[in-house]
Amino acid sequence: MLTPILDAGDRRPLYEQLYRHIRGEIEAGRLKAGTRLPSKRALATHLKVSVVTVEGAYDQLLAEGYLRSEARRGFFVQAGAQEPQPERGPAPNLHEPIRPSYRWDFSTGGVDTALFPFSTWAKLMREVLSGQEDRLLSTPHPQGVPQLRQAIAAHLYRFRGIRAHPDQIVVGAGSETLISLLVQLLGRQGAYGVEDPGYGKTHRILTSCGARVEPIPLDRQGLQVNQLDAHQVRVVHVTPSHHFPLGIIMPVPRRQALLRWAGEAPGRYIIEDDYDSEFRFSGKPIPALQSLDGGGRVIYLNTFAKTLAPSLRISYMVLPPELLERWRREFWFYSSTVPSFEQYALARFMEGGHFERHLNRTRTRYRARREALLAAARSSGLLETASFSGGDAGLHLLLWMDKRWNETELVERAAQAGVGLSPLSAYDLSPAPADRPPALILGYTRIAAEEMAPALVQLKRAWGF
């Protein structure tokens, strides 16, 4: 019979000691599946404890699946209790979506993590960890720790000309999280306009947050502001610094038209997603919508996913005063979604000038890659039948092809040759105009400069010209 050593002086109650002993025996395989355990009364008498004690232990073991009970027969060791096993695992055909990997990966959205200043970051994290225990563990400020919001405000002013008070900034676990908070803050009346073509994820997030979403067509200057009223848009999401994927930089007159639209009726807002504005390589600098806005209608949104690493999960937004007030009145209960550790480390990273240095280094590196890509395209002869656009800013280019080609076929042939790229049509929210030539999107953050020539030679060969 079971003979655990039960110690009444132990802090744990007797039933728990007994439960742990039996569980240990089962896990170690000394009590085999199917073994019948002594009755509660018998074990209680044997151990000189009350029946209630044994009952407590058996109940716990039953609850945790180590034992099963059979009416009138007693308690048995459950089969398979030795190790965690899914009782109802996911359906066997439930595989995770697989992302294919390519020899040359021109996908967008990633960054070259080799550029991340890992040792500096690790050093700052260590400093944070060793210095400020209390602040690190208590609930952070709902909008993010003040030190980080100050660093972001200073950065925005210096590098983007944006005047934002640290109080206006809300830090969050990625732009997706912030967009979902924005739907709650801005409400679900009217429609949310998104750029078409555009970043499909924004459409999906807005939709699944319960907003009605209307794709708004673009022209060469970006979003067609005169289409907003026809679609009853109240809130519009735009990427004026560098449209994704077309690469359009919205000129000032169009920006002003957008701001005028927002001012024409109460409750209209513009979400300015400045997701890769740090990477501008040429062309005239254009102020952010937020800087041009005199009416408090622009919510500025940006992320550290592109400039540092996607795994950090830190984005932020700048709320105009009226929305900030509503936020504090109605949504103050929300906790900050970013761990304090990361917030303090990032604040130090920015304060110490590391972020600026990292940006400069990254910009130089990506510029070299972009130039290598353009040079390789020229020397491969690819530009005899195709042309690039969208290269003044951001981290991808559009390769426009002759109309006799078919986007899907181009992508498939490239994939077979080890070159991964996306068709422009992957970002169409509604059918594209029939006369639009085929185009491919080439993100160049993940391919070394010296790999551009072999990649394009391979591409040209795969396409057979």
Minimum gap (Å) between residue 46 Cβ and a copy of itself: 22
Identify the residue among 2, 42, 209, 375 touching a copy of itself (CB under 8 A): 209
Three-class DSSP labels, the chain:
CCCCCCCCCCCCCHHHHHHHHHHHHHHCCCCCCCCECCCHHHHHHHHCCCHHHHHHHHHHHHHCCCEEEECCCEEEECCCCCCCCCCCCCCCCCCCCCCCCCCEECCCCCCCHHHCCHHHHHHHHHHHHHHCHHHHHCCCCCCCCHHHHHHHHHHHHHHHCCCCCHHHEEEECCHHHHHHHHHHHHCCCCEEEEEECCCHHHHHHHHHCCCEEEEEEEECCEECHHHCHHHCEEEEEECCCCCCCCCCCCCHHHHHHHHHHHHCCCCCEEEEECCCCCCECCCCCCCCHHHHCCCCCEEEEEECCCCCCHHHCCEEEECCHHHHHHHHHHCCCCCCCCCHHHHHHHHHHHHCCHHHHHHHHHHHHHHHHHHHHHHHHHHHCHHHCEEEECCCECCEEEEEECCCCCHHHHHHHHHHCCEECEEHHHHCCCCCCCCCCCEEEEECCCCCHHHHHHHHHHHHHHHCC
Closest to a copy of itself by CB, 202 or 380: 202
Q: Closest CB to a copy of itself among 251 and 454?
A: 251
Subset of 400-459 contacting a copy of itself (CB under 8 A): none
Nearer to a copy of itself, 2 or 125 (CB): 125
| Number of residues lying near a copy of itself (CB under 8 A) | 95
Dihedral pair phi/psi, residue 21, rounded to 5°: -65, -50
- Cβ 271 vs Cβ 179: under 8 Å: yes
Smallest gap from Cβ 169 to a copy of itself, in A, equals: 11
Identity of the residue, 125 or 462, whose beta carbon is nearer to a copy of itself in the bound complex: 125
Binding to a copy of itself in span 123-182, by CB under 8 A: 125-126, 129-130, 133-134, 136-140, 153-154, 157-158, 160-161, 163-165, 167-168, 173-174, 176-177, 180
For a copy of itself, the closer CB: 56 or 190: 56
Residues 307-366 that bind a copy of itself (CB under 8 A): 309-314, 320-321, 324-325, 328, 330-342, 364
Which residues inside 78-117 make contact with a copy of itself, applying CB under 8 A? 84-91, 94, 96-97, 110, 113, 116
Question: In the complex, what is the shortest distance from the CB of residue 452 to a copy of itself, in angstroms, rounded to a whole number?
Answer: 19
CB 328 to a copy of itself: min, Å:
7
If the CB atoms of residues 185 and 238 are measured against a copy of itself, the closer one turns out to be 185
Q: How far is the CB of 437 from a copy of itself (least distance, A)?
A: 28
Q: In the bound complex, what is the minimum distance in angstroms from residue 148's beta carbon to a copy of itself?
A: 13
Q: How far is the CB of 405 from a copy of itself (least distance, A)?
A: 28
Q: 268-307 mask for a copy of itself (x: CB under 8 A)?
A: --------------x-xxxx---x----x-----------
> Shortest approach of a copy of itself to residue 150 CB, angstroms?
9
Nearer to a copy of itself, 97 or 431 (CB): 97
Q: Which of residues 44-63 bind a copy of itself (CB under 8 A)?
A: 56, 59-60, 62-63
**Least distance in Å: CB of 143 to a copy of itself?**
9
Q: Which is nearer to a copy of itself, 217 or 310 (CB)?
A: 310
